[in-house]
């Protein structure tokens, strides 16, 4: 059973100038060089200061870790040869989006033409995790239920407290930037995969979108692959953090599937309720309270994370991701990426030190 939950990871990195620490265009040179090694696993993004990497289909977290580590290493080495650096965070601490160049590509031109400043200002960096399923019918069933847990994992991943040289007061301001896009955030419940497909067909028929990839929810049944794609997390600074979130998402899917086999399921809560927890997670990270909808009361986020770990514990060893799951305790002890960025800024009093910290942390474990 546990062999079914294959994995894929996508990460978006910032490209910085090591002298100014500003975001800078790499003129797609990093992508061109990396594709000679990793083919289409390294791609351009809408802004020229971004590089996206993606693993292949991985059987387990060990394989996924090896691939994402190698991709980080390769992209970093190639950036270094061009006199540049890469960094992993949800936003750059101080660069302004107005100065950044847009990649010349018909898809990006269409998005900018339609969404205008919302697209041009969307200078953010995320983590996308794919978990494989036997069928899209099963995937939509699990996606409906797993939505409840998105804010819990998101709180752990918060890694974007700064925007254009300001402390935003949020642990994840990346999500606030992305909120300007249509079709984002927590999705509604879909009664069946046909229900979801009919929604997509209606949007295409009415010229709202030209394909389902323009549905940018925090979680979606992928339009082309038999996967659930988790899209809520900031790009994590550390590979260990990325792998902890990958393991959490995989374990949640496996646990909910196990319940289904036992003729049980987790309650599917409304988008409006889950959004309350998402906002709290964006604002406070792991230091705030989330709502326990079953108890109808506020509960310390850290306690809910521990409850989440207990919930998935019986599938973790079968999946072989105990090492990755155990790292969650390190995040609870050391703080999220946002907490650590804020600590560096408090210590040094300048954003350049924060960028140096990000670019250094990004390479820990990369090989």
Q: How confident is the model at residue 53 (pLDDT cuts 50, 70, 90)?
A: very high
Structural domains of the chain, with CATH: 2-362 (3.30.590.20)
Res 68: pLDDT:
98
Res 34: pLDDT:
94
Residue 100 reports pLDDT greater than 90: no
Residue 108 reports pLDDT greater than 80: no
Of 121 and 277, the structure prediction assigns the larger pLDDT to 277
Task: List beta partners, residue 217.
Answer: 185
**Residue 125, both tokens:** 């960096």
**Mean pLDDT on 34-52:** 92
**Residue 261, both tokens:** 């086999």
In which element (H, E) is residue 197 found? helix 193-205
Q: How confident is the model at residue 111 (pLDDT cuts 50, 70, 90)?
A: confident
**Mean pLDDT on 302-311:** 98
Cα separation of 320 and 318, whole Å? 5
Q: How confident is the model at residue 113 (pLDDT cuts 50, 70, 90)?
A: confident
**Mean pLDDT on 53-64:** 97
Cα separation of 365 and 72, whole Å? 9
Helical axes 29-38 vs 61-81, angle rounded to 10°: 140
Res 2: pLDDT:
60
Using the 8-state DSSP alphabet, how is residue 292 labeled?
E
In which element (H, E) is residue 44 found? strand 42-44
Residue 106 reports pLDDT greater than 80: no
Residue 102 reports pLDDT greater than 90: no
Q: What are the tens digits of pLDDT across the range 150-162?
A: 999 999 999 999 9
**Mean pLDDT on 193-212:** 95
Res 283: pLDDT:
98
Q: Which of 137, 183, 186, 323 is nearest to 248 (CA)?
A: 323
**Mean pLDDT on 312-335:** 98
**Mean pLDDT on 294-312:** 97
Residue 101 reports pLDDT greater than 80: no
Residue 236 reports pLDDT greater than 90: yes
Residue 3 reports pLDDT greater than 70: no
**Residue 234, both tokens:** 């900031």
Q: Considering the chain, what is the average pLDDT of its residues?
A: 95
Res 1: pLDDT:
58
Res 288: pLDDT:
97
Task: Specify burial of residue 189 (Cβ count, 10 A radius: 0-12, 13-18, 19+).
Answer: middle
The model's pTM is 0.96
Q: Which of 360, 251, 258, 271 is nearest to 313 (CA)?
A: 251
Task: Note whether 144 and 270 are within 8 A (CB).
Answer: no
**Residue 189, both tokens:** 């419940």
Residue 171 reports pLDDT greater than 70: yes
Res 115: pLDDT:
81
Task: List beta partners, residue 292.
Answer: 297
Q: What are the tens digits of pLDDT across the range 280-293?
A: 999 999 999 999 99
């Amino acid at each position: 059973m546990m062999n079914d939950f294959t994995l894929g990871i996508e990460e978006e990195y910032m490209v910085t100038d090591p002298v100014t620490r500003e975001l800078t265009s790499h003129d797609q040179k990093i992508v061109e060089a990396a594709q000679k090694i990793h083919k289409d696993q390294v791609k351009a993004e809408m802004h020229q200061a971004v590089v996206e990497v993606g693993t292949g289909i991985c059987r387990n977290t060990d394989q996924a870790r090896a691939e994402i580590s190698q991709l980080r290493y390769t992209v970093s080495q190639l950036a270094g040869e061009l006199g540049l650096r890469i960094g992993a965070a949800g936003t750059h601490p101080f660069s302004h989006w107005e100065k950044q160049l847009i990649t010349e590509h018909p898809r990006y031109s269409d998005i900018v033409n339609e969404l205008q400043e919302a697209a041009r200002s969307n200078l953010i960096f995320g983590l996308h995790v794919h978990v494989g399923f036997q069928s899209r019918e099963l995937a939509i069933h699990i996606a409906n239920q797993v939505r409840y847990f998105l804010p819990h994992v998101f709180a752990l991943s918060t890694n974007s407290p700064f925007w254009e040289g300001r402390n935003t007061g949020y642990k994840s301001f990346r999500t606030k930037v992305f909120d300007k896009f249509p079709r984002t955030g927590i999705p509604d419940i879909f009664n069946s995969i046909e229900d979801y497909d009919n929604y997509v067909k209606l949007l295409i028929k009415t010229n709202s979108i030209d394909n389902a990839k323009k549905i940018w929810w925090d979680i979606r049944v992928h339009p082309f692959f038999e996967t659930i794609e988790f899209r809520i997390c900031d790009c994590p600074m550390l590979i260990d953090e990325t792998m902890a979130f990958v393991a959490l998402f995989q374990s949640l899917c496996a646990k909910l599937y196990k319940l289904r086999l036992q003729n049980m399921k987790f309650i599917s809560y409304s988008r409006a309720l889950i959004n309350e927890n998402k906002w709290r997670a964006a604002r406070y990270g792991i230091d705030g309270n989330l709502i326990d909808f079953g108890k109808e009361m506020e509960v310390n986020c850290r306690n809910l994370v521990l409850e989440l770990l207990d919930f998935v514990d019986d599938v973790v060893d079968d999946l072989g991701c105990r090492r990755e799951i155990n790292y969650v305790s390190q995040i609870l002890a050391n703080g999220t990426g946002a907490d650590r960025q804020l600590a560096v800024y408090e210590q040094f009093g300048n954003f350049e030190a924060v960028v140096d910290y990000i670019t250094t942390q990004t390479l820990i474990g990369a090989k």
